Chain A
Amino acid sequence: MQEYSLSHLKELEAEAIHIIREVAAEFQNPVMLYSIGKDSSVMVRLAEKAFYPGKVPFPLMHIDSKWKFKEMIEFRDSYARDNNWDLIVEYNKEAFEAGVGPFTHGSKVHTDIMKTQALLAALDKHKFDAAFGGARRDEEKSRAKERIFSFRDKFHQWDPKNQRPELWDIYNTKVHKGESIRVFPISNWTELDIWQYIRLENIPIVPLYYAKERPIVEYNGTLIMVDDERMPQELAQKATMRKVRFRTLGCYPLTGAIESEADTIEKIVEEMMTVTVSERTTRVIDFDQDGSMEQKKREGYF
């Protein structure tokens, strides 16, 4: 008998496509949250696959904290244009004009105002009833227990003690008016799966993931790239050119680089397979307090 079996990546792909189609079929007004990172790039490709040869029946939305790397914004705009996506960009205009940023207000306040609050306002503004996110369960301990379809009340709150049971591949999509669901189609992927899939499928990603000489400042042990003139002068002056790449991408002052020679996808995967620290060590926002991701999630941040 012929062997009918799928590779782990193809099985994860089939699962994600099923999840994405289920949302498109069951919700009135879904949206895919787009962070421009590698996980988003994979999720976006999975959506394209799910509806091929048709167009994806929902838009992408990027919450711009206004402190993203310039290369991320360029990548976002060209990807959406070239691939015929409807792209929504939202940001907290009031706070931006008042000058909120990580250098002046600290990472916690900045993240809360420019990311969490901006996201919640945007979800309300467009009345989205389902929002895809690219979170993975292997990223962080509190995410290991999150459902694929994660229920949020009308205040966008997540209650870890009151999650809906999720069995087989049957997803409960019932919500009352004003309530919503966050959906994580790549929940079961690991960081290594993501990189392997990017290689296998030749998925475009922001060039910041590849090692290159970049102007770097060492700040509290983290390697920060000088991306624009808003970096305080006393720090920016200390910048030296170092060959670095990024394992995760976010706001440039909050995202640490790693020294690396990996300038091809193969080298990145190879580096991933031998790496000894987890990817979140390069995310400054995690260090705030124990259980901090869980706190942020309860408040509505992914």
Chain B
Amino acid sequence: MNTNSKIDIHEFLNRDEKKDLLRLLTCGSVDDGKSTLIGRLMFDSKMIYEDQLAALERDSKRIGHAGEEIDYALLLDGLKAEREQGITIDVAYRYFSTNKRKFIIADTPGHEQYTRNMVTGASTANLAIVLVDATKGVITQTRRHTFLVSLLGIKHVVLAVNKMDLVDFSEQRFNEICSQYKQFVSQLDIPDVQYIPLSALKGDNVVETSERLPWYEGKSMLHFLETVHISSDRNFEDLRYPVQFVSRPDRDFRGFCAKIASGIIKKGDTIMVLPSRKTSTITSIVTYDGELEQAFPPQSVTITLAHEIDISRGEMLVHPDNLPHIERQFEAMLVWMDEKPMNPNTQFYIKHNTNTTKARFDTIRYKVDVNTLEKSDITHLELNEIGRVVITTVKPLFFDAYKKNRNTGSFVLIDPVSHNTCAVGMIIDKIHADGLPQRITDADKQKIDTGIGLISQQEYENRYNQKGATIWITGLHGSGKNQLAYSLERQLFNQDAIVVLFDGSTVRSGLSKELDYSPADRAENLRRVAEVCKVLNDQGIITICSFISADDSVRKQVSSIIGAERFTLVYMDADLDYCKNNKPELYSLIEQGKIDNLPGIDCAYDIPTSADIVCKPHDLEDNVQKIIHYLIEKGIKK
């Protein structure tokens, strides 16, 4: 700090108030000299007061672990129990500033069981200092810390090679350690990695560059921290304005408050509201200090719109040409934070931006070992474990991949009973229908005991003179599935069969009313139909289903819910031109870009390779007869 300054105090303060803020994470253990480094940075920037220093000297003699030296760890450790145990058990935040910058240090311990704390500290950091002891080089702990730093998306890492005094300030040793680290770090996704040799204890290269390291041409640690460029790390491209609070002080003013998650918002911008997809324009950006022409992250502002649109907390404003994913299902890296292990069969609360809804796990793909980065199969996660999972939420979320957007790609899970924050996650991407099929069967979930009816299947079959079975017709939109289904139902009915018919519009307008056309919801829609068919088939009734059902893996799961032995797959084999001619309305909508997710156009239709019956759309009568013949042959219809 500038103590003997002769410059005008007003001018000095005006400048000082404009300093920016760097949040950093320090990783390493007391043995690496981490506390010494932090203590020295704070001491040299005069953030340790005399009374604190006096207390520190006194405590160092009484309970310190540094012999006659000042034990900086005592300054940093806060809680009584920890002091007695001689360990730090949580994240502590430290503050110091220089003429150039203000710094917030998240100080976290290096012990293996405290992955939780490091992840917490890393979540808000712009930069991480990874400490290694020059006498030991890159050790398991170094790799673990670096992996966590990259998992949490920190863009700048400094490898601080400490205790250079103990290796005679050897350039060769330094280079050796750097190349060990480079080899490891190249597997991870960290855009900026720097290497600084130093001695925290002796002060070399901490604040000033050291004469004892003449071969080192870079900056000292403090100088580097003061100058590293971080403001462009934020996402200024994709506007994400998660409405946090709606302000209605009187009838004339309706303001939507948010902390801008990413992107730039400008007065006059056209915006779209999610999930309603209504559009409007920004009439003003209001703050206590006056209106703004534009605002950017991480500002907290209030905006007003030209139209009266009903918007509540949890909705999101975006630019209409740049939408986030709007989905109920996604894949994420999850860190388990709770003493209580994950129960994969419970629903959790999920908080994502200003939205809270419920979520369940669909799949737990694997666990990553933080030390070896090896992947292994598991059934659940425990405290401090990291795994890749697929999650389905009750309400759709508006998200981006964490890598692209830290604010809209992160979430926490809250235990529904204890209300503890039990896990935190970083979204990898949404699930695509191809490559990552929907999972709708719950083969490995706990079986529920079902009641046993008093009428046996045999009795039903005797009464109805038929066997319960499902005829599932798949094909493109406009291929003539419904026409076939209706004609088939008519013929079977005429022949005294007991038949129930399901088609897309009937189910969508009732049973699956709240679902959308995303891959996850399409799968859920079919799951419901399959479950209903199963119940009806169990009671001797023949069901006819007419659904596009584009995804082969979903059709297989439908078959397994119903029971493969009573599932008949009929493929309506019509080419795309035929379908377009038959149903031009919908196909023209997609050509105009008004809808998306139409199988055969912008998402895949898997042609069935194992259909029981293949029909061509032209010969309706023949098709019906073919199916009935098949049913008789199989003994379904007597």
Contact = CB atoms under 8 A, between A and B. Distances in A.
A168 B409 CA distance: 11
B78 A145 contact: yes
Contacts of B410: 167-168, 170
B20 A7 contact: yes
Contacts of A267: 9
A165 B21 contact: no
B247 A51 contact: yes
Interface stretch (A16-24, A59-67, A235-243, A253-261): A16-24
A23 to B, nearest CB: 10
Contacts of A5: 20, 231
B421 A164 contact: yes
B292 interface: no
Nearest to A179: B419
Contact of A277 (B13, B50, B257, B354): B50
A137 B93 contact: yes
Interface in B55-105: 75-81, 89-95, 97, 101-102, 104
B119 interface: yes
A200 B17 contact: yes
B299 interface: yes
B479 interface: no
A164 B354 CA distance: 18
Contact of B287 (A52, A161, A175): A52
Contact of B80 (A166, A270, A291): A291
Contacts of B77: 141
Contacts of A49: 287-289
Interface in B101-120: 101-102, 104, 116, 119-120
Nearest to B411: A170
Contact of B414 (A13, A142, A174, A190): A174
B244 A172 contact: no
A55 B354 CA distance: 22
Contacts of A275: 49
A265 B627 CA distance: 90
A276 B50 contact: yes
Contacts of A51: 247
Nearest to B339: A162
A4 interface: yes
A53 interface: yes
Contacts of A14: 259, 298-300
Interface string A145-189: 100000000000000110111111110101110000000000110
A193 B17 CA distance: 8
B354 A172 contact: no
Contacts of A142: 78-80
A6 B299 CA distance: 8
A138 to B, nearest CB: 5
A188 B419 contact: no
A141 to B, nearest CB: 4
A281 B286 contact: no
A299 B171 CA distance: 54
A193 B97 CA distance: 10
A145 B229 CA distance: 28
A196 B95 CA distance: 15
A112 interface: no
Interface string B269-304: 000000000000000001111000000111110100
Interface in A259-273: 266-267, 269-270, 273
A3 interface: yes
Given A24-B245, A273-B3, A52 B286 contact: yes
Contact of A278 (B18, B51, B234, B288): B51
Nearest to A267: B9
A168 B123 contact: yes
Interface in B238-255: 244-245, 247-249, 253, 255
Given A164-B421, A273-B1, A6 B20 contact: yes
Contacts of A212: none
B406 interface: yes
B236 A4 contact: yes
B10 interface: yes
Contact of B116 (A165, A187, A281, A291): A165
A53 B421 contact: no
A274 interface: yes
Contacts of A3: 231
Given A145-B79, A167-B119, A174 B257 contact: no
A11 interface: yes
Contacts of A274: 1, 3
B4 to A, nearest CB: 9
Interface residues of A, number: 70
B379 to A, nearest CB: 23
Given A4-B236, A168-B407, A137 B247 contact: no
A194 to B, nearest CB: 12
Nearest to A21: B245
Contacts of B245: 21, 24-25
Given A5-B231, A11-B20, A54 B120 contact: no
A12 interface: yes
B424 A167 contact: yes
Nearest to A279: B49
B412 A167 contact: yes
Given A21-B244, A138-B95, A50 B300 contact: yes
B13 A199 contact: yes
Interface in B412-452: 412, 414, 419-421, 424
Interface string A49-88: 1111111000000000000000000000000000000000
Contact of A8 (B13, B19, B234, B354): B19
A21 B18 contact: no
B95 A145 contact: no
Contacts of A228: none
A141 B91 CA distance: 12
B313 interface: yes
A109 interface: no
Nearest to B19: A8
A90 interface: no
Given A7-B20, A164-B421, A144 B10 contact: no
A95 interface: no
Contacts of B349: 174
B52 interface: yes
Contacts of A172: 351, 412, 414, 419-421
B501 interface: no
A240 B134 CA distance: 60
A296 interface: no
Nearest to A196: B17
A284 to B, nearest CB: 14
B90 A169 contact: no
B288 A52 contact: yes
B16 A137 contact: no
Interface in A1-51: 3-15, 17-18, 21-22, 24-25, 48-51
A294 interface: yes
A277 B412 contact: no
B2 interface: yes
B298 A165 contact: no
A14 B50 CA distance: 33
Nearest first, the 4 A-B pairs at minimum CB distance are A54-B249, A5-B231, A167-B123, A8-B21
22 contacts: A4-B264, A6-B21, A7-B19, A8-B21, A8-B102, A11-B298, A21-B245, A25-B313, A53-B255, A53-B286, A54-B253, A144-B76, A144-B92, A160-B90, A165-B337, A165-B421, A167-B120, A193-B102, A196-B13, A290-B80, A294-B78, A294-B80
Interface of B: 1-3, 9-10, 13, 16-21, 49-52, 75-81, 89-95, 97, 101-102, 104, 116, 119-120, 123-124, 231, 234, 236, 244-245, 247-249, 253, 255, 257, 259, 264, 286-289, 296-300, 302, 313, 337, 349, 351-354, 406-407, 410-412, 414, 419-421, 424
Given A160-B90, A163-B90, A193-B102, 6 more contacts: A22-B354, A143-B78, A145-B78, A190-B95, A196-B17, A273-B1
